[in-house]
Amino acid sequence: MHNPPADNDSTIYKTLLESTKAIPWKIDWASKQFTYIGPQIERLLGWSQDSWQSVEDWAARIHQDERESIVNFCVERSLHGADHEADYRALTQDGGYVWIRDVVHVIRTPSGEPEALIGFMFDISERKKTEEQLLQLQKQLEEYSYKDGLTNVANRRMFDRVLEQTWLDAKRNQQPLSVIMIDIDFFKQYNDFYGHLQGDEVLKRVAHTLNGAGLRVKDFFARFGGEEFALILPETSEASAIKIAERCRNLVFKEQIPHAASKIGQILTISVGVASTIPVSNHESKVFVEFVDSLLYQAKKAGRNQIVQGANQG
Ligand SMILES: Nc1nc2c(ncn2[C@@H]2O[C@H](COP(=O)(O)OP(=O)(O)OP(=O)(O)O)[C@@H](O)[C@H]2O)c(=O)[nH]1
């Protein structure tokens, strides 16, 4: 057994405890009263040292979103005599909050009952801020990985994901699904004539123009690759899809983008393939998209600046 510290020692311990950044505290289990809390608490949260009377004061100063779960967790752990730690937002006197990590040690009676809790509160707001920034960054990265860097519309990866989901829904509900594939005419010549940077600008402009062509919330537009774009139209019949394909062609034409190197006129045009299907169990979305792409190829071969349609393939 150690002897209790002499007065001199306890002064040293007190000085040490009260000069750390971590805030020491002690609660008597039977009365649920604070028997001690370091004066540093006032600097951190604004609440004066003597305002920490009972566990009620502690609980009331936990952000309400996690108050109940934190209190329940700490009571449950303490009853089991288990040391524990909890992260929560502690409310400050001026209405803000600070992220705290409370590290708790349970002192038990010889029979194992909790007698007192002692612990340290650590200010972990900087760590939490970094965690939140990392999460934000992760979200942004995920967003970037589904977005085309040049045009800012969805990319091929996102197209594949949306198609897969839309295909399954259409199969389950036996609803028609339409896909439109779009390709800029003589884009190689455009690049050659105006330069690649100007080509990039046109891709952005066309993407922006076509992004609003499907009017329903569920309509989905993506850059399929290069100078090719695609629209997925759930619950859309062939007749409606053809109208939207027409709208696409008109929208781009109305932009009146000069294309002096086009072999079919002086204005930039697009070719379009469009088809609808009601998927059945042995149909594959990939095969359907290849079919729509072949319609687009037919539009190119037939002279460009036109729409070729096909139905019920899949
Ligand atoms: N500026 C620019 N050009 C691109 C980009 N992606 C693909 N291209 C160009 O798009 C052109 C596509 O050429 P082709 O596939 O021959 O098609 P096209 O010239 O449009 O001819 P048709 O489709 O037959 O009318 C190529 O010259 C590519 O370099 C891009 O991100 N920026």
Strands (E), the chain: 23-28, 33-37, 84-91, 97-108, 114-123, 177-184, 220-225, 228-233, 270-277, 307-311
Domain stops at, among 95, 129, 163: 129
- Judgement on whether residues 117 and 170 belong to the same structural domain of the protein: no
Whether the per-residue pLDDT at 310 is higher than 60: the answer is yes
State residue 15's pLDDT score: 82
- Judgement on whether residues 169 and 226 belong to the same structural domain of the protein: yes
In this structure, are residues 271 and 183 in contact, taking their beta carbons and an 8 Å threshold? yes
Residue of the CA atom closest to atom 27 of ligand 1: 188
- Judgement on whether residues 152 and 254 belong to the same structural domain of the protein: yes
- Judgement on whether residues 101 and 204 belong to the same structural domain of the protein: no
Say which range, 73-77, 136-140, 260-264, has the weakest mean pLDDT.
136-140
Active-site pick, 42, 131, 227, 246: 227
Q: Above pLDDT 90, what percent of the chain? A: 79
Whether the per-residue pLDDT at 188 is higher than 60: the answer is yes
* More confident site: 14 or 28: 28
Residue 225 CA: nearest ligand 1 atom is: 6
Pocket-forming residues, ligand 1, beta carbon under 6 Å:
150, 183-189, 191, 196, 199-200, 203, 226-227, 300, 304
| pLDDT, tens digit (0-9, with 9 covering 90-100), for 96-130 | 999 999 999 999 999 989 999 999 999 999 888 88
User: Phi and psi at residue 188, in whole multiples of 5°?
Assistant: -60, -45
Look up the domain containing 181 and give its range: 146-311
- Judgement on whether residues 307 and 168 belong to the same structural domain of the protein: yes
**201 included as an active-site residue:** no
Residue of the CA atom closest to atom 5 of ligand 1: 226
Residue 197 CA: nearest ligand 1 atom is: 1
- Judgement on whether residues 191 and 306 belong to the same structural domain of the protein: yes
pTM: 0.67
State residue 311's pLDDT score: 56
* More confident site: 74 or 12: 74
Q: Which residue is it, tokens 């939140």? A: 132
Q: Long-range contacts: 237-241, Cβ < 8 Å, 24+?
A: 237/176, 237/178, 237/276, 238/176, 238/178, 238/274, 238/275, 238/276, 238/309, 238/311, 240/178, 241/178, 241/180, 241/274, 241/275, 241/276, 241/309
Q: Which residue is it, tokens 């194992």? A: 112
Residue 304 CA: nearest ligand 1 atom is: 25
Instruction: Answer whether residue 2 is part of any domain.
Output: no
Whether the per-residue pLDDT at 314 is higher than 50: the answer is no
- Judgement on whether residues 124 and 157 belong to the same structural domain of the protein: no
Whether the per-residue pLDDT at 2 is higher than 50: the answer is no
How many domains does the structure of the chain reveal? 2
